[in-house]
């Protein structure tokens, strides 16, 4: 998560606040020569000059180490740069802004080298006294990044809180850190406003919308989850099929079965996946769109004959008796044999085909006698006798 941080090395800062009296004449001469070589792009020679400095003065040693650290960094010798800058900082010889900028250089290099535990104490020291024209908010952001990298999520949020106290405009990196830490700590209520800010920054990024839906679902806020997903859909964010399925489920949970069925109709396997066909049939049935429900039960039954039973029940309900009989004839579940016979009895009765109805009633009664089967046999027998008279 941590991005590479550019170290802006301005060599005029190396001598900021330094007078010739503070450096010995010998060291000052070496420093000047090294600076000239560096400015003429002779970095290796400049390093050799500084590395050859032999002095007993503590301040001279610290100053040269600081300068060597910068040159080593420029020469891509990072471990040497860290060693020299660490010496300069720990010596205690550098003061005020010079000490602060040296520590910052050291902390930034350690961060870039992914030496997080070593960098962190330096950043905490830096934020204690931030000089004018330096950005304290950036230091707190780096502290947050390190804590997050170390899976220390509570300190991450604390550091982000300090960063946000600077009241900077919302930016992606700090908000992403905040979001990630909140999720890890399962702070779902806090996740919601963070994601809303991320969506305001990147409304085209579907990930934030999906995460916001998840947060609302974690809080049991089905209606809000539906609203978010609908808004993402309206904004044409190209919902993947799994999100379209979720959208349909949320419509159903909110008691909007018609929209649930219509949403499932957008899926690529809508006419070949039997489970999707069944879901649509159920949604249309719940919406009391009987003909549409029958249509989808029929499609499902053509793929799996187990669904002829559901189709036949709706056909009977809608008084499509001939069609119901055709559907019932295709039900081949042995466990439903008696139920199928009784359903046929009702259809034959409604079609005034009493003889066929009586035959099926007797068959149903032979399987297992019940008040219903006996009642049909008696009733249809009486009707047939009355007709014959």
Q: pLDDT, tens digit, for every residue of 53-110?
A: 888 899 999 999 999 999 999 998 999 999 999 999 999 898 888 899 999 999 999 9
The pLDDT assigned to 19 comes to: 42
User: Which one of 3.30.70.360, 3.40.50.10470, 1.25.40.10, 3.90.1560.10 gives the CATH number of domain 1-126?
Assistant: 1.25.40.10
Mean pLDDT value across residues 135-139: 94
Q: pLDDT, tens digit, for every residue of 328-352?
A: 999 999 999 999 999 999 999 999 9
Which one has a higher pLDDT value, 283 or 386?
Answer: 283
Torsion of CA 60, 62, 64, 68, to 10 degrees: 170
> Which of 47-56, 221-230, 300-309 shows the lowest mean pLDDT across its residues?
47-56
DSSP 10: -
Phi, psi of 386 (to 5 degrees): -65, -40
Q: pLDDT, tens digit, for every residue of 139-149?
A: 999 999 999 99
Which one has a higher pLDDT value, 10 or 195?
Answer: 195
> Distance of CA 245 to CAs 55, 225, 268, 293, 356, Å?
75, 13, 11, 19, 45
DSSP 74: H
DSSP 150: T
Reference 17, options 119, 116, 100, 128; nearest CA is: 100
Contacts of 70 (CB under 8 A, 6+ apart): 9, 11, 14, 81, 105
**Model confidence at 10: pLDDT above 80:** no
> Rounded to whole angstroms, how far apart are CA atoms 135 and 114?
22
Domain map of the chain by residue range?
1-126, 161-200+211-232
- Class of residue 133 by CB neighbours under 10 A (exposed 0-12, middle 13-18, buried 19+): exposed
Residue 192 token pair: 């919601």
pLDDT-derived band at 21, boundaries 50, 70, 90 = very low
> Rounded to whole angstroms, how far apart are CA atoms 332 and 134?
81
């Amino acid at each position: 998560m941590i991005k590479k941080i550019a170290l802006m090395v301005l060599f005029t800062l190396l001598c900021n606040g330094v007078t010739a009296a503070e450096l010995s004449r010998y060291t000052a001469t070496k420093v000047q020569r090294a600076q000239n070589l560096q400015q003429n792009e002779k970095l290796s020679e400049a390093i050799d000059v500084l590395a050859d400095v032999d002095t007993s003065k503590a301040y001279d040693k610290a100053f040269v180490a600081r300068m060597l650290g910068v040159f080593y960094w420029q020469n891509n010798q990072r471990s040497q740069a860290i060693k020299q800058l660490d010496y300069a900082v720990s010596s205690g010889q550098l003061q005020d802004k010079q000490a602060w900028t040296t520590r910052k250089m050291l902390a930034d290099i350690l961060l870039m080298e992914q030496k997080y535990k070593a960098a962190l104490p330096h950043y905490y020291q830096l934020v204690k006294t931030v000089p004018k024209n330096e950005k304290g908010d950036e230091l707190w952001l780096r502290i947050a990044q390190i804590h997050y990298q170390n899976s220390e999520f509570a300190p991450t949020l604390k550091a982000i809180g300090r960063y946000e106290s600077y009241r900077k405009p919302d930016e992606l990196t700090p908000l992403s850190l905040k979001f990630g830490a909140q999720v890890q700590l399962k702070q779902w209520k806090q996740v919601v406003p963070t994601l809303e800010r991320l969506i305001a920054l990147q409304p085209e990024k579907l990930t934030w919308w999906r995460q916001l839906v998840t947060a609302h679902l974690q809080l049991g806020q089905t209606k809000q989850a539906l609203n978010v997903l609908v808004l993402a859909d309206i904004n044409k964010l190209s919902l993947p099929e799994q999100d379209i399925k979720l959208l349909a489920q949320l419509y159903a949970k909110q008691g909007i079965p018609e929209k649930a069925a219509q949403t499932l109709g957008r899926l690529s396997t809508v006419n070949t996946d039997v489970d999707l066909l069944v879901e649509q049939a159920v949604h249309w049935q719940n919406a009391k769109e009987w003909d549409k429900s029958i249509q989808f039960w029929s499609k499902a039954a053509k793929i799996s004959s187990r669904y002829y039973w559901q189709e036949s029940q709706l056909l009977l309900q809608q008084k499509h008796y001939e069609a119901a009989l055709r559907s019932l004839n295709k039900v081949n579940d042995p466990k439903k044999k008696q139920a199928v016979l009784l359903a046929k009895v009702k259809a034959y009765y409604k079609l005034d085909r009493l003889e066929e109805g009586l035959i099926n009633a007797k068959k149903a009664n032979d399987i297992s006698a019940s008040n219903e089967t006996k009642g049909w046999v008696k009733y249809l027998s009486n009707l047939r006798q009355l007709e014959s008279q």
